[in-house]
Amino acid sequence: MLIKKLISKTITGIVFLCFILLVVAVVISKASGGEPAFFGYQIKTVLSGSMEPGIHTGSIIAIKPGGDTARFQQGDVITFRSSENILITHRIVNAEVNKATGEATYTTKGDNNNAADQEAVSSTNVVGQYTGFTIPYIGYAMNFAVSKAGSVMLMIVPGLLLLLYALYSSWKAVTALEKKNTGTGDSDALPKALQ
């Protein structure tokens, strides 16, 4: 009986915690324009294999935004905005300063790509530096969570699970109460028959 109560409380806690975490993730994602940030680090989703095996397709990564974007050197991994307004995370293979403008530019390349990127990256397009923190495959879920369908699903599914669990708990409580009442009636009747 004690084990059943412990399992029941554990399941309730896990479902409730998942619900809270999902709601928080959706709210943070929406508030930050689709990409959550924690403790000054931005969480980005990687949906290409250009940086494999270091960063797997579908991973989430943490980047440190801001600072002097002209400070990066060869070997640093940066996240930058391409001319098509797409965020890309690649490694710097060459860093130089444009003598005419005085602006730092970077030649980048994905670790899994055969050749360097065609366009040089201006330091003004750098969003942040990759910190080395990555969690594989969570990016697929994060991408789904920030979509309209994902937001609705993440709000409805945990709520339905909580409702179903509440109904199940209520049914179990009613069943236990009925058994107790039935058992009490029999025990009252037994002493009377013996008298």
Catalytic residue from among 8, 48, 82, 151: 48
CA-to-CA separations, 138 to 43, 121, 143, 146, in angstroms, rounded: 11, 28, 9, 13
Residue type, 48: S
Q: Is 122 noted as a catalytic residue in this protein?
A: no
Tokens read off for 91: 């490694």
Residues 62/69, Cβ–Cβ less than 8 Å: no
Task: Tell me the C-alpha distance between 151 and 156, whole Å.
Answer: 9
Tokens 């860093």, residue? Answer: 95
Just list the catalytic residues: 48
